[in-house]
Amino acid sequence: MSRFCPLFSSSSGNCTYIGSADGGILIDAGVSARRTVLALKDIGVDMGDIGAVFVTHEHSDHISGLRVLAGRHSLDVYTSAGTLDALESMGELTTGYAARVIPAEGVEVCGMHISAFATSHDSRESVGYLVEMPDSRRVAVATDTGFVTEAMMQALLGADLVLLESNHDVRMLQNGPYPYYVKRRVLSDEGHLSNDTCAETIITLLQNGGTRFVLGHLSRENNHPELAMQTTRAALSRIGARENIDYILSVAGTGPSPRLTVF
């Protein structure tokens, strides 16, 4: 039995739980340790069941709670070499936990095999993660990327469940309050995926066996959950795909409490 829950997913903070019968992992720790512990409790998970934290990159909405959470609970932390260097230079590494570069071949934690793949973001060395569950199902988390890299697509193809960034609506961003340099950053190849690019990527994933898709890392200023959902639904409808028959679609971070998926 595989368990998946995006505890937090937005530009304000990100943290995703993935678990099996043997325990679970967190991808990112971008909110306070207290909020993370409470969110896990809401889905029936104890911190003692968490085997490690995997960090995608060093931006604050992905690591702001890392030092306290990992130190207080003696959690192993894995990330890319570039991100590890960035965390060290930022003073985020302490003696309270072990931080390591994830091996190229991946690592085993709580009966799951976790490997990293490259994303394209304005950080030291951003990555996404592919998790192979004990029953051979695969879960992927891919956010904070300006475009879908070849490595990213290869990792996502065939995954049973994918959390994919659907950050912004291009028109909302272009007409919104952000200064020009921020708009240019978000739209760049080292920025964030738009709703349209996310939708086109999901078409490819569906055509290659993917069935469960979660839209994540939505901008509060330049997107709406309903708009992100409708963009992907419309794209899938154009190829004749039927929601809740051919695919299941949801948005991370909506609703009063975390939404646990068991599959």
Domains of the chain by residue range: 3-256
Strands, sheet with 212-216, edge to edge from the N-terminal-most edge strand: 107-109, 112-118, 127-132, 138-142, 161-165, 212-216, 248-251
Q: Give mean pLDDT, residues 81-87.
A: 98
C-alpha dihedral sign at 44, 50, 55, 56? negative
Closest CA to 165 of 145, 180, 181: 145
So what's the pLDDT on residue 255? 64
Strand, helix or coil for residue 217: coil
Mean pLDDT along residues 88-110? 94
Instruction: For residues 179 and 71, give the distance between their C-alpha atoms in angstroms, rounded to a whole number.
Output: 37
Residue 189 has pLDDT above 90, yes or no: yes
Q: Which pTM value belongs to this model?
A: 0.96
Phi, psi of 248 (to 5 degrees): -120, 130
**Quick one: how far is CA 185 from the chain centroid?**
20
The per-residue pLDDT for 256 is 65
Please say if the pLDDT value at position 28 is more than 90.
yes
Task: Specify the pLDDT at position 94.
Answer: 84
The topology (CATH level 3) of 3-256 is Metallo-beta-lactamase; Chain A (3.60.15)
Segment 217-233 mean pLDDT: 97
**Phi/psi of residue 164, each to 5°?**
-125, 140
pLDDT at 253: 79
Please report which confidence band the pLDDT of residue 49 belongs to, taking 50, 70 and 90 as the band edges.
Answer: very high
**Average pLDDT of the segment spanning 104-122:** 98
Residue 196 in this model has a pLDDT that exceeds 80: yes
Q: 217: which residues sit within 8 A by CB, 6+ positions away?
A: 9, 10, 11, 14, 143, 144, 165, 166, 167, 192, 252
